[in-house]
Amino acid sequence: MFHNTPVQSDDQEVYPNRACLDSKTNAGCIAEGGSIDNIMKAELFCCGSKYLVNIFGTEEFIVNILRIVMTIIALLLAGAHYGRAGDTILKYLFVALPLLLLIRKKWSDMILAVSISITVPVWIHTTLNIIAVRKAAEIPWLRMAIILGGVALFSLIAAFITFRHIYRSRKAVDSKG
């Protein structure tokens, strides 16, 4: 049997067998069969981003994880590009650059951001060259252009997030002292 009787807590009323979007006003409550599993599923479904922030702590933590993952992927893609082009030195350089993430200094973040930024025009130049070659050979080129354009956009976003991290960490240091 479903009970909608509030149970008094320290600072708010708790409704057993209900998952509420807003615990203060109990707005948007979803009546469930009473199992904790159903309540957790409803909360995760209804307020996913808020739930993730509660799990991981802060939005800044989530952005840092995103920055690290995007930086690694962007640099490895650049390393693969240079490896395919036959440039061994740049291939190993770009594959090794993610190790700078282990050094938590401003200069290492700046090297990563500039390295990723340099790859954006390289991706655009490569895309335009391959389009020209494929058009001349009358080979379909649109799918390749979309993929490499997406890689260029991904690298641009990764560079933006890394520069944002540098700016925010500098701003935090300036406000402290």
**Does the structure show a pLDDT above 90 at 2?**
no
Q: Kindly state the average pLDDT of the residues 67-72.
A: 94
Instruction: Check: pTM over 0.85? Answer yes or no.
Output: no
Among candidate residues 76, 121, 118, the one with its CA nearest the CA of residue 97: 76
By the 10 Å C-beta count (0-12 exposed, 13-18 middle, 19+ buried), 160 is classed as middle
The rounded distance, in Å, linking the Cα atoms of 159 and 101 is 14
Which pLDDT value is given to residue 33? 47
Which pLDDT value is given to residue 145? 96
Hey, what are 70's tokens? Answer: 């995007």
Could you report the per-residue pLDDT of 20-48, keeping only the tens digit for each?
A: 444 444 444 444 444 455 455 545 454 55
Hey, what are 78's tokens? Answer: 């650049």
The rounded distance, in Å, linking the Cα atoms of 93 and 78 is 10
**Does the structure show a pLDDT above 90 at 55?**
no
CA quadruple 40, 42, 44, 49: dihedral sign: negative
Going by pLDDT thresholds of 50, 70 and 90, the confidence category of residue 160 is very high
Q: Please tell me the number of Cα atoms within 13 Å of 92 on its side-chain side.
A: 2
Work out the mean pLDDT of the chain and round it to a whole number: 78
Q: What's at 51, amino acid-wise? A: Y
